[in-house]
Amino acid sequence: MRTAFVYSDEFARFDYGPEHPLKPFRLKLTHELIKACGLLAPSDQRLVEAPMASVDELLSYHTEDYIDTLKTVNSGKPAARAGAYGLGPGDNPIFAGVLDGSRLVAGASLRAASLIENGEVDIAFNISGGLHHAMASRASGFCYVNDAVLAIRWLVKQGKRVAYIDIDAHHGDGVQAAFYDTDRVLTISLHETGGALFPGTGFEDETGAGAGKGYSVNVPLPPESDDEVFLFAFNAVVPALVESFQPDIIVSQLGVDTFRGDPLAHLNYTTRGFCAAVQKIKKLAPKWLALGGGGYDVANVARAWTLAWATMNDVEVADEIPEDFLRHYGHAGFESGRLRDKPFTITGTKKDHMLKEAARVTDYIRKNLLPHD
């Protein structure tokens, strides 16, 4: 077993509410599509049950008062001062099992990290993970517990150098904040500019502090950027940064709210750009812990992460989605009947401006953050 898919049917049980854009059902949908495409049999050794993280494991990063508050609201009932921790109506609702669900996601990422560290696998994928906005003492952006930070901190404790690559539409601010002052972790986030999208951070001059100066890298891209703009920026900086840093392991956040039509962002990526980046990460990674992330069109999520899992296993999967899957889940937005998107490209002066901005940002990074002879 050289790859592991860390999963639990329990992921889909935790419900943010009918009006909330984050639908845990997308995780079950992804698992079902992966199985339907013949990429994971029910008895497959690569399928690893996600455990629930202990409270002590959460406290390796999160503050005790915050976790105590999550314990209090785990029943689904509001608590005094919950709002001070970012909990309540809006992005981070209080619902029954809010702490239990967070512990399960964190446990899955920690289990994935341990499988890699103990040599059982080279690649592990936790589609429920990548909750990159959560801060040490505050929920943010649909994220209550930062599983990426917990897994990276654990790996660093084992003596590993970690490069974190985040391709979600939203800046990975919580992960950046956790490692802003250390040279043991290189964080790279490619995202829609904070001038147009939550959380309003992630500009190219956010480059770290103290010992971490130069180890925080941000690539903000213009709204409406397409695959060509994304891959231009990715290829301009990510390989050189990773090769210079020489990590023992790459942790990646593979959010797909970057895709055309996603309701919460303004980018135009397709499976073409996404898969090209995933393939590049695989080539760069000595070991690889892959996490899910954003994605609010559930069909896009399932298609993209199925293709990512195929890449992790060096399998060329057929483009047509199996008919049996479509009979059960076609209503969830699989109108094309295919895993892969048609190409999409912006043209004209708008594209010229996008490429010029991407070149400006990547030039800044090359001049200020990449090593020079």
Residue 271 tokens read as 């499976």
Rounded to whole angstroms, the Cα distance separating 142 from 293 reads 10
**Cα-based distances in Å from 274 to 83, 176, 255, 256:** 36, 22, 9, 8
Residue 17, Cβ density class (10 Å: 0-12 exposed, 13-18 middle, ≥19 buried): exposed
Has residue 112 got a pLDDT over 70? yes
Per-residue pLDDT, 45: 93
Per-residue pLDDT, 1: 58
Q: Residue type at 120?
A: E
Query: What's the pLDDT tens digit per position in 136-155?
Result: 999 999 999 999 999 999 99
SS3 186: strand
Rounded to whole angstroms, the Cα distance separating 24 from 100 reads 14
Residues 6+ apart with CB under 8 A from 240: 366, 370
Q: Alpha-carbon torsion 285, 362, 168, 36, what sign? A: negative
Residue 186 tokens read as 């290189």
| Range list of H helices, 63-206 | 64-73, 98-117, 147-157, 173-178
Rounded to whole angstroms, the Cα distance separating 188 from 169 reads 13
Has residue 167 got a pLDDT over 80? yes
SS3 284: helix
Domains observed in the chain? 3-368 (3.40.800.20)
Residues 6+ apart with CB under 8 A from 89: none
Nearest in space to 39 (alpha carbons), one of 351, 343, 289, 316: 316
Rounded to whole angstroms, the Cα distance separating 118 from 137 reads 30
Average pLDDT of span 235-252: 98
Q: At what angle do helices 298-312 and 25-36 cross, to 10 degrees?
A: 50
Query: What's the pLDDT tens digit per position in 169-214?
Result: 999 999 999 999 999 999 999 999 999 999 999 999 999 999 999 9
Per-residue pLDDT, 324: 97
Per-residue DSSP letter, 216: E
- Contact (Cβ atoms closer than 8 angstroms) between residue 361 and residue 220: yes
**Residues assigned a catalytic role:** 133
Residues 6+ apart with CB under 8 A from 57: 106, 107, 110, 150
- Contact (Cβ atoms closer than 8 angstroms) between residue 202 and residue 220: yes
Q: Residue type at 40?
A: L
Q: Residue type at 172?
A: G
Query: What's the pLDDT tens digit per position in 31-62?
Result: 999 999 999 988 899 999 999 999 999 999 99
End-to-end CA distance of the chain: 41
- Contact (Cβ atoms closer than 8 angstroms) between residue 230 and residue 189: no
pLDDT band at 372 (very low <50, low <70, confident <90, very high): low
Query: What's the pLDDT tens digit per position in 337-346?
Result: 999 999 999 9
Has residue 373 got a pLDDT over 60? no
Rounded to whole angstroms, the Cα distance separating 21 from 235 reads 31
Rounded to whole angstroms, the Cα distance separating 190 from 312 reads 21
Could you give the angle at the alpha carbon of 27 between the alpha carbons of 39 and 93, nearest 5°? 170
